[in-house]
Structure 1
Amino acid sequence: MSKPLPMSDTLLIVSLGELGTNVLEAVGRSGLFERIVVASRSADKALGRINNALIGCGIDGHFPHFEALGFDFNDAACVGALRALRPDVIFSAPTLKPWWQVGGLDGVKESLAASVPFGGYVSLQLAPMAMFRERYAEAGIAARWIAASFPDVINPSLARSGPGPACGIGNVREPIAKIQASVGRKRGIAPARVSVRLVAQHAFEYGVFHPSPPADLPPYLLSVTVDGEDLTPLGHSALREPFPFPYDLHFNRVTASAALDGMRALISPEPMRTHLPGVLGLVGGYPVLVEGGDIRLDLAPGWTEAEAIAANEASLPWDGIERIEADGTIVFTAETVKALHALTGTAIESAHPRNAAEQARLILAALD
């Protein structure tokens, strides 16, 4: 039986949407942190969510020290608060409009909004993330920053234009349990014995979590072994098995589990292998080895770093993105440019941390 991880000192959760709330509930029960600070523009909202978590966590036998904090990272005064808190880990997932609210519009506007690929809305996450990045950098703190808003694309954009997050969570990590369960069932063994290494980008999981997965998935690399035996063909087959999946707010519970997995790796005193998106300024997600908070790629034998990077970059068009340039500019595909023009009446060809706020304003006005 493995030893429990020692508790780290302080986790700061910045922005309290649906994902942040699910992470709060999950991490409070995990025993990973002695102190959990929830920062929201509304301290009353933070306190209410904390009290809900406190009761549930207490019933489960966990009583971390919770704190609510009124915190607006659009205000430069928050820099002092960051310095005073001295968090060990920061989790942030801000958005100006969550994916589940892009819809329910009237008539033609609904059709125009639905025609914009997922990546076309990147400024709705990039704008607040870029603002928080500036406050984080100015504070000069050593906290490991987990940025969870579309990390496969936003994290490399941030890292290539200034200080970037340590990692994201979810996406590449989430399909692995499907592979393990399927291969374990077919071989009559415990799924935990199935070792998986996967290189994949955000759009990939929407193909494999599907009642009828397409044969043509976004580019990926996969290695599946059990006690050294190569079972990768079974893994490819598992990815294409029917898998009805509710893309609703319950999805945040899955992502919260992935967040705990990433946090364990970042604070573990021992090296840990896992999968993380948005690391090292790279597009997409990778198998990684995390040691002392430092992250490095942990690719399968025979894979080169260039091949892994190329696979994820080739997957970007599935999200409506052509490429991410060396300065962090996110260049849209022609399809996305056309759809954004139809929605906003404005030619929008790319996004960057410096112009994301204005682009987001145009998109939000069109969706209003």
Structure 2
Amino acid sequence: MDKPTLLIVSVGELGTNVLEAAARSGLFSRIVIAGRNAAKARARANGALIGAGLEGHYPTIVGEQLDVDNPSFVKDIKAINPDFVFTTATLMPWWQVDQSSAPKLPFGGYVSLHLAVMKTFRDRLAEADLDAIWIGASYPDVVNPILCRTGFGPLCGIGNVQEPIPKLLSGLSNRLQVPTDEISVRLVAQHAFEYPVLSDGASADLPPYLLHAEANGNDVTELAREILLEPFPFTFDLFFNRVTASAAIQAFDSFVIPEATAVHLPAPNGLVGGYPVTVQNNEIKLDLHPAWSEADAIDTNLRSLPCEGIEAIEADGSVTFTEVTQAAFAKLVGKPIERVTIHTAAEQAQEILKAL
């Protein structure tokens, strides 16, 4: 069976890290990294080719120009003919926002920076009507549900709920002296959850989550909760993109292998937040613990949204901000902002960028 083609639509930090990881993964026969700057894309492709080759991997790796605002976009992406489309576009990445001296918003207040560009990409990708799996990595716990509620959206995201799992597996393995492959963990959690548990010390007052852990069939959930709260020094800087790239490879792998694969993914099928799932034949199904209903799992992640400054995501995809976020907007842009929709995201994003 031929290996698939991966298209990475980004020449930024995360896109480049995913390129480097994918080039060494053995999962793809062809990898295309594409963006508005063709020269930068080709240089990134050549860097990955050399590095992967030194480690014994030689997929075809090329850099291409792909501009969502160019009339040729649909023709260009059809010519690439990818099996996977991976996007991580934003008008300003989180690490640049952090460097700004402007008054800060809660994380969810910046949703328009991601949504504005992803909406444009979504509309053009829908025109292309590709038979490809779209994985969206731009604040997927929130952006992907908005896209799915307003039309075509990514099948899932990457990162977030995936990233605390190794802490749990490693910690349980060390404490119980059993191999990690004899331990199973199921976690329902939204984006806000990973930051306090991957830190010097987590508060017992974590964002809402559901957790179940077993070792050789024995319930070890309470020990897993203890491990979640253990100090875990962790730096959220540019190097963190390498961690997220590993989450992308885990996601890609679950789609590429033919067997049903248990994994955690954010925004599966457009749901808010992250869940344990099984992936097979390009389909994602929730893999919840029997004690959890689907409604309870979804509600858990919805109740986590205020931790990032979002009160609710409505059925039409509009976002209502918490009072705290509205007050923060007043300090940043000079007026309180109550909500954002897919139609107002571009204008709101420009207000935020100007203030930053």
TM-score by length of 2: 0.98
Q: Deviations over 1:322-349 (max 9, x none)?
A: 1110011111111101101210123321
On the 8 A contact 1:76/1:135 being kept in 2, the answer is no
Separation (CA, whole Å) in 1 of partners of 2:71 and 2:338: 30
- SS state of the match for residue 196, structure 1? strand
Q: Does 1:167 align with 2:162?
A: no
1:218 to 165, 187, 207: 207
Of all paired residues, the percent bearing the same amino acid is 53
On the 8 A contact 2:44/2:63 being kept in 1, the answer is no
What is aligned with 1:26? 21
Separation (CA, whole Å) in 2 of partners of 1:342 and 1:171: 29
Cα offset, 1:105, TM superposition: 3.9
Q: Does 1:16 align with 2:11?
A: yes
Alignment gaps of 5+ in structure 1: 1-5
Separation (CA, whole Å) in 2 of partners of 1:329 and 1:123: 11
- SS state of the match for residue 177, structure 1? helix
Q: Does 1:130 align with 2:119?
A: yes
Q: Does 1:87 align with 2:76?
A: no
Cα 1:53–1:199 shift into 2, 3 Å = same
Separation (CA, whole Å) in 1 of partners of 2:190 and 2:247: 15
Separation (CA, whole Å) in 1 of partners of 2:178 and 2:127: 51
The one-letter code matched in structure 2 to 1:305 is E
Query: Which has the larger displacement, 344-353 or 8-17?
Result: 344-353
What is aligned with 1:227? 216
Cα offset, 1:7, TM superposition: 5.4
Separation (CA, whole Å) in 2 of partners of 1:191 and 1:290: 20
1:139 to 123, 128, 134: 128
The one-letter code matched in structure 1 to 2:67 is D
Q: Deviations over 1:291-311 (max 9, x none)?
A: 100011010121100110010
The one-letter code matched in structure 2 to 1:54 is L
Q: Deviations over 1:41-73 (max 9, x none)?
A: 111001111111111100110011012111111
The one-letter code matched in structure 1 to 2:65 is G
2:305 to 316, 329, 340: 316
What is aligned with 2:274? 285
The one-letter code matched in structure 1 to 2:34 is A
TM-score by length of 1: 0.95
Q: Deviations over 1:22-56 (max 9, x none)?
A: 00000000011101011111110011111111111
What is aligned with 2:317? 328
What is aligned with 1:203? 192
What is aligned with 1:3? none
Figure out how many residues of one structure are paired with residues of the other and give that number. Answer: 356
Query: Which has the larger displacement, 342-351 or 22-31?
Result: 342-351
Cα offset, 1:117, TM superposition: 0.3
The one-letter code matched in structure 2 to 1:8 is K
Q: Does 1:67 align with 2:62?
A: yes
The one-letter code matched in structure 1 to 2:193 is F
Cα offset, 1:278, TM superposition: 1.1
1:188 to 177, 195, 203: 177
- SS state of the match for residue 304, structure 2? helix
- SS state of the match for residue 276, structure 2? strand
Separation (CA, whole Å) in 2 of partners of 1:363 and 1:153: 18
On the 8 A contact 2:66/2:77 being kept in 1, the answer is no
| Aligned Cα root-mean-square deviation (Å) | 1.1
On the 8 A contact 1:185/1:191 being kept in 2, the answer is no
Matches within 5 A, 1:290-309: 290-309=279-298
Alignment gaps of 5+ in structure 2: none
Separation (CA, whole Å) in 2 of partners of 1:35 and 1:183: 38
On the 8 A contact 1:8/1:88 being kept in 2, the answer is no
Cα offset, 1:127, TM superposition: 0.8
1:77 to 72, 75, 98: 72
1:252 to 241, 250, 272: 241
Name segments (4+ residues, structure 1) moved above 4 Å. none
Cα offset, 1:9, TM superposition: 2.3
Cα offset, 1:358, TM superposition: 0.7
What is aligned with 2:346? 357
Cα offset, 1:230, TM superposition: 0.6
What is aligned with 1:41? 36
What is aligned with 1:149? 138
Cα offset, 1:102, TM superposition: 1.1
The one-letter code matched in structure 1 to 2:60 is H
